[in-house]
Structure 1
Amino acid sequence: MANIVKPTGSPAAGEETGNPTAEALRQAMRRVASSVAVVTTRRDGVDHGMTVTAFSSVSLDPPMVLVVINTAASLHDPLTHGDGFCLNVLDAAQQDIAEAFARRGAGHSRFAAGNWFRPQIDGQPAPALVLEGAQAWAQCAVDMVVTAGTHSIITGRVLAASAAGAGLPLLYLDGAFGRPA
């Protein structure tokens, strides 16, 4: 079970902070190019997924990654209480998948975009679906959930990972998808 840390005084999901620099920060961060991933999870036998740009490696010993999810997002509860997750880093040719998983209210129909599979890890089905043709993927067990303002930082202990031998990652910059030049 994940360790959940909730600091006091944090605004609730979707609550305005009243901080006059919030919009300035939003505009500043739009200028930072990010790789794009789809995070998948399974809870109570149902697969869930969402497009994200806030993710990172954390540690090699032990192998860990993190993802950052808005607490109001449909993926939040299944991710923080599910069977684990998979971070699927998208290839530049997979923009349609990023768009499908970014749509609100699409639910399980999002998985119609792309080819998904569940690999075996130590003879058992992996916790979450993997996207065929992704630049990289990491299957994870949820390690810790930390509330940070309107978002949760979810760290995952990597159970298995793989990277493509070639290709370019899908990027997100200034509100648009793109590819490296």
Structure 2
Amino acid sequence: MSQNFPALALAAALVAPLLGGCGGGGAPLTFDLAALPPSGRPAMAGRAIVVAEPVGIQPFESDRIIVREPGGSLSFLGGGQWADRLPRLIQTRLIQSLENSGRLRSVSRPSDKVSSDYQLISEIRAFDVAAGNGEAVVDLSAKLIAEGTGRVTAARVFTARVPIKAVSAGNGAAALDAALGTVLADLVRWVNTGR
């Protein structure tokens, strides 16, 4: 990056020390999360779902990778950040994963103003590296709400834990991505089959 955009890299290097938790004074590495791969089946004439952006406590509203200390306090892991705000990134990967399943008629965001049968709302309960036991933890609660009536037709909590060798930005991001992959697989199966 520094070869192609020297001015941007220099600006990032100058600003990074002013930001707490960036470790080493360099610009933090940016990490992405993966959607489930396409199933290979054509889209079915099933239900249409709107996926709301997940909500969560304030630390989860940022693009920072979070560490949960043994006493329960939260801090930001230096040296790394997500490619977008975490709720928006999870929403995007959830939409892509549902689309890739090939089981739904349409999957959209509320801002798309697309007619739907259900709205999927979720809450980020945990998306952090638990430093005390060396695990990446992803915990999402989800509800399917019938459009028109507002009735909750199904609700479930999805949790995954992945061991992490060392608490670092690269290890943390990879383990959180793996844990989210497990959660996405379970959540997509639940939306599509009710199980």
For the aligned pair, the TM-score class normalised by the smaller chain equals under 0.3
Q: TM-score, normalized by length of structure 1?
A: 0.25
Bigger Rg, structure 1 or 2: 2
Higher relative contact order (CA 8 A, sep 6+): 1
Greater helix fraction, Structure 1 or Structure 2: 2
Greater strand fraction, Structure 1 or Structure 2: 1
